């Protein structure tokens, strides 16, 4: 086994432990290994060595949910663990996903509504979700508060429609999953309004209502970050 692969797997092992233990020593070790793993993977991409590939056998040893996230614009990949879960007065369940170096994604029923550490972060989003239903529940107005380059928050409001594209079987590292493909198409924002809005945002969700999960999605994370591809590699 190559050194980059070993380091990548070590990162995953630490993430699994970190999901259960959040003391300072665990955080420090986790951060060091994540950075080492990223450096190793970057080095392997810079040569002819193949990019490390996870297998289901390895993932089956992980204790706790794990989310694979790819930043499309830079082709960067990271693995996030659950750092917090809660409910509030709004519909749906909030899950906070975190990397070892404290980049966080906040989701409600699998729908992204806030980011921290990506740059140009989404500070908050109004969502159309329902209790016990993964993904967006309906169309309607969707408002984002986005941190701009001058560190000010700017409001972007889009009009969204929801389309059910039907059943879709997806493959996630050795697992075949029956889902429905839901597409959210949002339009709005004016040129020069300071939000960097692309004019149209298209989010895709592959949902499993029986499991209550969004197994896979492609969601917009703001004008600076662009789109994130996400998949639940460990439930």
pLDDT of the residue at 21? 42
Contacts for 22 with CB less than 8 Å, ≥ 6 apart: 83
User: Over its length of 235 residues, how does the chain's per-residue pLDDT go in tens digits?
Assistant: 443 333 344 444 444 444 444 445 345 434 443 444 454 444 444 444 444 567 888 888 888 999 999 999 999 999 999 999 999 999 999 999 999 899 999 999 999 999 999 999 999 999 999 998 999 999 999 999 999 877 889 999 999 999 999 999 999 999 999 999 999 999 986 544 555 567 899 999 999 999 999 999 999 999 999 999 999 999 9
pLDDT of the residue at 190? 55
- DSSP conformation class of 100: T
pLDDT of the residue at 197? 63
Name 229's bridge partners.
Answer: 70, 218
C-alpha torsion angle, residues 145, 22, 229, 86 (rounded to 10): -60
pLDDT of the residue at 199? 81
pLDDT of the residue at 76? 93
- DSSP conformation class of 183: E
pLDDT of the residue at 71? 96
pLDDT of the residue at 59? 87
pLDDT of the residue at 167? 98
**What's the topology of domain 65-234?**
YmcC-like fold (2.40.360)
Give the global pTM.
0.79
Q: Do the Cβ atoms of 162 and 139 come closer than 8 Å?
A: yes
Return the domain boundaries, the chain. Answer: 1-61, 65-234
Q: Between helices 24-46 and 3-18, what is the axis angle to 10°?
A: 150
Q: Do the Cβ atoms of 94 and 105 come closer than 8 Å?
A: no
Residue 200 CB neighbour total at 10 angstroms: 12
- Residue 28: alpha-carbon gap to chain centroid: 23
Residue 193 CB neighbour total at 10 angstroms: 13
Phi, psi of 231 (to 5 degrees): -145, 145
């Amino acid at each position: 086994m190559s050194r980059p692969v070993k380091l990548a797997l070590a990162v995953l092992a630490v993430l699994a432990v970190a999901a259960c233990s959040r003391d300072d020593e665990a955080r420090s070790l986790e951060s060091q290994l994540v950075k080492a793993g990223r450096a190793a993977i970057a080095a392997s991409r810079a040569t002819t060595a193949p990019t490390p590939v996870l297998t289901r056998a390895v993932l089956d040893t992980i204790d706790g949910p794990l989310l694979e996230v790819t930043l499309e614009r830079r082709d960067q990949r990271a693995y996030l663990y659950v750092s917090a879960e809660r409910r509030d007065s709004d519909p749906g369940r909030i899950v906070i996903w975190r990397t070892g170096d404290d980049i966080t994604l906040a989701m409600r029923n699998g729908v992204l509504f806030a980011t921290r550490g990506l740059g140009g972060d989404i500070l908050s989003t109004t969502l159309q979700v329902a209790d016990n239903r993964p993904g967006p529940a309906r169309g309607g107005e969707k408002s984002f508060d986005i941190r701009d380059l001058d560190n000010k928050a700017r409001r972007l409001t889009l009009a969204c429609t929801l389309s059910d594209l039907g059943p879709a079987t997806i493959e996630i590292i050795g697992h075949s999953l029956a889902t429905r493909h839901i597409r959210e198409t949002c339009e709005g924002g004016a040129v020069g309004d300071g939000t960097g809005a692309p004019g149209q945002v298209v989010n895709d969700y592959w949902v499993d209502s029986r499991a209550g999960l969004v197994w896979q999605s492609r969601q917009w994370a703001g004008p600076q970050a662009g789109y994130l591809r996400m998949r639940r590699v460990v439930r």
